[in-house]
Amino acid sequence: MTTTPEHTSAVPLRVLDHNDIFRDEVYQKQFEGKREFEDAAPKEEVQRVLDWTRGWEYREKNFAREGLTVNPAKACQPLGAVLAALGFEGTMPLVHGSQGCVAYFRSHFARHFKEPVPAASTSMTEDAAVFGGINNLVEAMENITALYKPKHIAVSTTCMAEVIGEDLFAYIGAAREQEVIAQDFPVSYAHTPSFVGSHITGYDVMLKGILEMLAKSPDADASKVAKSDKVRLNVIPGFDTYVGNHREYKRILELMGVDPLILGDHSSSLDSPADGEYFLYPGGTPLAQGALAKFSRASLVLQESTLRRTAEYIQKDWKQDTIVLETPLGVKGTDAFLTAVAKVADVEVPAELTAERGRLVDAITDSHAYVHGKRVALAGDPDLVIALTRFVLELGMIPVHIVSTNADPTFKARMEKVLSASKFGAEATVWPEKDLWHLRSLVFTEPVDLLIGSMQLKYISREANVPLVRVGFPIFDRHHLHRFPIIGYAGGLQLLTQLVNTILDEMDRTAPDHSFDAVR
Residue among 474 and 492 whose Cβ is closer to another protein: 474
Orientation of helix 168-177 relative to helix 134-148, angle to 10°: 60
Q: Give the one residue of 136, 201, 305, 422 binding another protein; rule: CB under 8 A.
A: 136
Does 117 bind another protein (CB under 8 A)? Our answer is yes
Q: Kindly list the catalytic residues.
A: 159, 163
Residue environment code for 3-38, b if the CB has 16+ CB neighbours within 10 A, otherwise e = eeeeeeeeeeeeeeeeeeeeeeeeeeeeeeeeeeee
Contacts 24+ apart (CB under 8 A), 167-176: 168/96, 168/137, 170/134, 171/96, 171/133, 171/134, 171/137, 171/138, 172/137, 172/141, 174/134, 174/137, 174/138, 175/137, 175/138, 175/141, 175/142
Residue among 347 and 442 whose Cβ is closer to another protein: 442
- Rounded CA-CA distance 381/472 in Å is 8
Does 122 bind another protein (CB under 8 A)? Our answer is yes
Residue among 127 and 416 whose Cβ is closer to another protein: 127
Q: Give the one residue of 83, 140, 439, 499 binding another protein; rule: CB under 8 A.
A: 140
What separation in angstroms does the CA of 207 have from each of 94, 97, 270, 322? 14, 20, 17, 15
What is the closest distance, in whole angstroms, from the C-beta atom of residue 234 to another protein in the complex? 30
Does 368 bind another protein (CB under 8 A)? Our answer is no
Contact between 375 and 463 under an 8 Å Cβ cutoff? The reply is no
Which residues in 1-20 contact another protein (CB under 8 A)?
2-3, 5, 12-13, 15-18
Does 195 bind another protein (CB under 8 A)? Our answer is yes
Which residues in 302-321 contact another protein (CB under 8 A)?
none
Within 10 angstroms of residue 186's Cβ, the number of other Cβ atoms is 23
Does 456 bind another protein (CB under 8 A)? Our answer is yes
Does 155 bind another protein (CB under 8 A)? Our answer is no
Q: Give the one residue of 81, 83, 124, 378 binding another protein; rule: CB under 8 A.
A: 124
**What is the identity of the amino acid at 336?**
A
Task: Mark the segment that binds another protein (CB under 8 A) among 40-48, 166-174, 311-319, 361-369.
Answer: 40-48
What is the closest distance, in whole angstroms, from the C-beta atom of residue 453 to another protein in the complex? 15
Does 160 bind another protein (CB under 8 A)? Our answer is yes
Does 119 bind another protein (CB under 8 A)? Our answer is yes
What is the closest distance, in whole angstroms, from the C-beta atom of residue 304 to another protein in the complex? 22
Does 184 bind another protein (CB under 8 A)? Our answer is no
Nearest 10 degrees: CA dihedral of 496, 75, 381, 403?
Answer: 100
Q: Report the candidate in 52, 119, 46 with the shortest Cα–Cα distance to residue 79.
A: 119
Does 44 bind another protein (CB under 8 A)? Our answer is no
Q: Give the one residue of 146, 182, 351, 518 binding another protein; rule: CB under 8 A.
A: 146
